[in-house]
């Protein structure tokens, strides 16, 4: 039996804000529950504003949970009964826009090595060895000489390859990918998607893949959760979502599938 690496239960997050002295409450995430098994690619889809990034931010401890629970690798990492310890290095994220997620002053080598600072000295020296860093930069389709350059010397697609290498350097148990190709030129989106797919196969990675593109999700994901206005309206296998969707909102999303990634 494959174990759940992540279990999200009854997660809630509301943002409170004021406009013209009137208080508003935005229920960004409402009673969301799902789990991800080890080695699985779980897709989270939904339109803009449906709460996808908020879920990613809650998982990454970038936002605090209002109620509910996140269990990662058997430990409660957020919400009810949480010990408020975050497993740095074991959950890593790739953000949408590599231009803003990579520090322009750092070299590619420094960027890739940065997450290692959260790990023990022993792990740091093994994973950060020049042999490992070299393997990693090659695995994402870049070359040794790229390590000494800075982010502005790369194309958008190459920058996202660096962000992927940075996410993988700690050998994470879960990689959160928050629309990792949406900010890229259309011509390189397919290359980065294919890279993510081959890395997942090669290293047996576990992904939470966030997208608003049903075609890409069909190509990459084993199971898919459909978010609408902060609520998870359907969670099912890839096959079920695309052949026997049960929720009206899922059917609506499917009617707008672009053709680019329909073949899997
Ligand atoms: N820090 C915040 N403060 C106030 N409201 C927020 C905050 N972050 C997100 N929201 C709101 O929560 C809702 C969900 O936003 P979220 O960014 O999670 O959506 P998303 O599904 O990732 O959208 P997109 O596809 O555009 O990235 C939106 O209505 C958004 O305006
Ligand atoms: Mg988002």
CA distances from 53 to 82, 87, 96, 246, 260 (A): 22, 19, 10, 24, 24
Nearest atom, ligand 1, residue 16 CA: 4
Kindly write down the DSSP assignment for every residue of 120-147, as one continuous string: -HHHHHHHTSHHHHHHHHHHTT--GGGG
Beta strands 41-45 and 223-228, pairing class:
parallel
Ligand 1 and 64: CB distance under 6 A? no
Task: For a ligand 1 pocket test, name from 17, 43, 52 the mutation site with the most ligand atoms within 8 angstroms of its C-beta.
Answer: 52
> Per CATH, which fold does 4-90+173-254 belong to?
Rossmann fold (3.40.50)
CA distances from 29 to 50, 136, 142 (A): 8, 35, 37
Nearest atom, ligand 1, residue 179 CA: 27
Burial of residue 121 (number of CB atoms within 10 Å: 0-12, 13-18, 19+): exposed
Output the residue whose Cα is nearest ligand 1's atom 19: 49
Dist. CA 209 → ligand 2 center (Å) = 12
Domain ranges of the chain: 4-90+173-254, 103-171
Note down pLDDT in tens along the chain; length 264 residues.
568 999 999 999 999 999 999 999 999 999 999 999 999 999 999 999 999 999 999 999 999 999 999 999 999 999 999 988 899 999 999 999 988 889 999 999 999 999 999 999 999 999 999 999 999 999 999 999 999 999 999 999 999 999 999 999 999 999 999 999 999 998 899 999 999 999 999 999 999 999 999 999 999 999 999 999 999 999 999 999 999 999 999 999 998 765 555 444
Region label for 31, one of left (φ > 0), alpha (ψ between -120 and 50) or beta (otherwise): left
Contact indicator for 95, 106 with CB cutoff of 8 Å: no
Strand-pairing partners, residue 23, are 18
Kindly write down the DSSP assignment for every residue of 35-46, as one continuous string: EEETT-EEEEE-
Task: For a ligand 1 pocket test, name from 29, 44, 50, 94 the mutation site with the most ligand atoms within 8 angstroms of its C-beta.
Answer: 50
Dist. CA 228 → ligand 2 center (Å) = 13
Q: How far is residue 199's CA from residue 30's CA, in Å, rounded to a whole number?
A: 33
CA distances from 158 to 109, 162, 197 (A): 14, 6, 16
Ligand 1 and 203: CB distance under 6 A? no
């Amino acid at each position: 039996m494959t174990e759940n690496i992540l279990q999200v239960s009854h997660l809630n997050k509301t943002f409170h804000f004021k406009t013209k002295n009137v208080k508003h409450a935005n229920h960004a995430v409402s009673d969301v529950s799902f789990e991800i098994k080890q080695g699985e690619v779980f897709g989270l889809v939904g339109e803009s504003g449906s709460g996808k990034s908020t879920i990613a931010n809650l998982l990454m401890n970038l936002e605090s949970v209002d109620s509910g629970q996140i269990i990662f690798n058997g430990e409660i990492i957020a919400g009810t009964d949480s010990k408020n310890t975050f497993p740095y290095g074991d959950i890593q994220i790739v953000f949408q826009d590599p231009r803003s997620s990579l520090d322009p002053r750092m070299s590619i080598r420094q960027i890739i090595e940065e997450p290692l600072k959260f790990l023990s000295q022993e792990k740091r020296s093994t994973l950060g060895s020049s042999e490992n860093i070299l393997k990693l930069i090659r695995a994402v389709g870049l070359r040794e000489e790229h390590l000494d350059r800075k982010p502005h010397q790369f194309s958008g697609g190459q920058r996202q390859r660096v962000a992927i290498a940075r996410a993988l350097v700690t050998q994470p148990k879960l990689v959160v990918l928050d629309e990792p190709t949406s900010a890229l030129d259309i011509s390189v989106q397919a290359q980065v998607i294919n890279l993510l797919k081959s890395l997942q196969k090669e290293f047996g990675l576990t992904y939470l893949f966030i997208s608003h593109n049903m075609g890409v999700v069909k190509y990459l994901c084993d199971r898919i959760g459909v978010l609408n206005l902060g609520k998870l309206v359907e969670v099912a296998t890839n096959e079920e979502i695309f052949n026997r969707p049960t929720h009206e909102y899922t059917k609506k999303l499917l009617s707008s599938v672009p053709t680019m990634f329909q073949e899997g």
